[in-house]
């Protein structure tokens, strides 16, 4: 009799567990998706506002990239090559004397071409070599001195001079954050004026075009956009002071480092309440 009672209790327990599994759990499983649907219902994409946010971070550059050319002519190719190589060695020596490390002096472009008697002639009267060296200046205050020293050693062309920051990623992230904040503040202000409010973010797009402002022009890559921009038209402008120990001025010479501007632009869409 005791054994029969145990069997009955076991059957009842199994039956109870089966009922719980088939009654309660399916309800919970089907109820879970209702929460996201409810959230989505409060964010109506048909009622939205589109805004943009732009931020500019002005930074004193801590790096300079100088491209100098050495042009050599000779009656024969080997003569032009010998003269060019000797001049390059003198230029490199003069730059290292200023404290520039050899690893920061590299050949950027090298070409040799024949010189003809005239435009329509095939008679070669000599050869010309163009050799461009690229110098990374980790002390921007010596930029003018480096150019002067290179020319005194035999360089005869200034191909390009660019100033930049070694902390580009940090300042670009900072500008991006400021631009997003500006976009959100603009959306809040416009929605409030219209008697509504911002509820959720529907989309975010970043303008990834690389550019910087040098105080008078916007530059894209190595080329000027050709249009003067007014920084007061931006949402946010922030000036970053040079770090302690960094020089913000160049030595006496024709170049001025000034500030470079790192720009971020965000286009965002917000749902309205």
Q: What is the pTM of this model?
A: 0.63
| Domain region containing 159 | 63-164
Q: Are residues 119 and 137 in the same domain?
A: yes
Q: Which of 164, 193, 209 is the last residue of a domain?
A: 164
Asked if the structure places residue 4 within a domain, the reply is no
Measured distance CA(186)–CA(189) in Å, rounded? 5
Q: Which of 164, 185, 218 is the last residue of a domain?
A: 164
pLDDT band at residue 31 under the 50/70/90 scheme: very low
Q: Are residues 74 and 202 in the same domain?
A: no
Q: Are residues 133 and 261 in the same domain?
A: no
Q: Are residues 174 and 258 in the same domain?
A: yes
Q: Are residues 177 and 122 in the same domain?
A: no
Q: Are residues 151 and 181 in the same domain?
A: no
Q: Which of 116, 141, 164 is the last residue of a domain?
A: 164
Measured distance CA(207)–CA(265) in Å, rounded? 5
Closest to 239 measured CA to CA, from 190, 178, 188, 193: 178
Measured distance CA(159)–CA(135) in Å, rounded? 12
Domain count, the chain: 2
Q: Do residues 110 and 131 lie in contact, with contact meaning Cβ atoms separated by under 8 Å?
A: yes
- Residues 34-70 pLDDT 10s: 334 444 446 778 889 999 999 988 888 999 999 999 9
Q: Are residues 96 and 146 in the same domain?
A: yes
Predicted confidence (pLDDT) at residue 21 exceeds the cutoff of 70: no
Greater model confidence, 252 or 125: 125
Asked if the structure places residue 35 within a domain, the reply is no
Measured distance CA(3)–CA(124) in Å, rounded? 117
Asked if the structure places residue 90 within a domain, the reply is yes
Q: Are residues 155 and 240 in the same domain?
A: no
What is the dihedral angle through the alpha carbons of 181, 182, 185, 190, rounded to the nearest 10 degrees?
A: -140
pLDDT band at residue 144 under the 50/70/90 scheme: very high
Asked if the structure places residue 27 within a domain, the reply is no
Residue 84: partners with Cβ closer than 8 Å, 6 or more residues away: 70, 72, 129, 131
Ramachandran class of 195: left when φ > 0, alpha when ψ lies in -120 to 50, beta otherwise: left
Asked if the structure places residue 98 within a domain, the reply is yes
Cα within 13 Å of Cα(116), Cβ side: 6
Q: Are residues 116 and 150 in the same domain?
A: yes
Asked if the structure places residue 36 within a domain, the reply is no
Closest to 264 measured CA to CA, from 199, 169, 197: 169
pLDDT band at residue 82 under the 50/70/90 scheme: very high
Q: Are residues 177 and 268 in the same domain?
A: yes
Asked if the structure places residue 37 within a domain, the reply is no
Q: In sequence order, what DSSP letters do the residues of 144-171 get, joined into one string?
A: HHHHHHHHHTT--EEEEEEEE-TTHHHH
Q: Which of 21-25, 39-43, 132-136, 190-194 has the highest mean pLDDT?
A: 132-136
Closest to 214 measured CA to CA, from 66, 61, 54: 61
Measured distance CA(227)–CA(214) in Å, rounded? 12
Q: Are residues 155 and 172 in the same domain?
A: no
Measured distance CA(240)–CA(174) in Å, rounded? 11
Q: Are residues 93 and 208 in the same domain?
A: no
Asked if the structure places residue 193 within a domain, the reply is yes
CATH code where residue 217 lies: 3.30.110.170
The pLDDT mean for the chain works out to: 77
What is the dihedral angle through the alpha carbons of 164, 170, 172, 176, rounded to the nearest 10 degrees?
A: -160
Measured distance CA(23)–CA(25) in Å, rounded? 6
CATH code where residue 131 lies: 3.30.70.2970
Q: Do residues 228 and 239 lie in contact, with contact meaning Cβ atoms separated by under 8 Å?
A: no
């Amino acid at each position: 009799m005791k054994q029969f009672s145990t069997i009955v209790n076991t059957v009842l327990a199994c039956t109870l567990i089966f009922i719980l599994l088939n009654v309660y759990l399916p309800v919970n499983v089907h109820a879970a998706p209702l929460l996201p649907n409810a959230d989505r219902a409060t964010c109506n994409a048909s009622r939205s506002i589109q805004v943009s946010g732009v931020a500019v971070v002005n930074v004193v550059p801590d790096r300079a990239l100088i491209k100098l050319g050495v042009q050599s002519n000779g009656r024969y190719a080997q003569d032009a090559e010998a003269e060019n190589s000797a001049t390059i060695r003198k230029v490199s020596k003069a730059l290292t004397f200023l404290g520039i490390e050899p690893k920061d002096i590299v050949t950027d472009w090298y070409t040799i071409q024949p010189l003809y008697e005239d435009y329509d002639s095939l008679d070669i009267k000599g050869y010309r070599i163009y050799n461009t060296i690229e110098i990374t200046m980790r002390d921007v205050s010596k930029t003018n001195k480096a150019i002067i020293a290179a020319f005194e050693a035999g360089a005869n062309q200034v191909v390009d001079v660019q100033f930049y920051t070694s902390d580009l990623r940090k300042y670009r992230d900072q500008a991006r954050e400021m631009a997003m904040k500006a976009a959100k503040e603009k959306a809040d202000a416009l929605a409030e004026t219209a008697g509504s409010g911002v509820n959720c973010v529907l989309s975010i797009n970043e303008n990834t075009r690389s550019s910087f402002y040098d105080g008078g022009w916007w530059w894209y890559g190595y080329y000027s956009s050709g249009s003067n921009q007014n920084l007061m038209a931006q949402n946010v402008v922030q000036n970053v002071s040079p770090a302690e120990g960094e020089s913000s001025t160049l030595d006496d010479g024709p170049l001025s480092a000034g500030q470079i501007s790192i720009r971020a632009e965000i286009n965002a869409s917000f749902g309205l309440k």
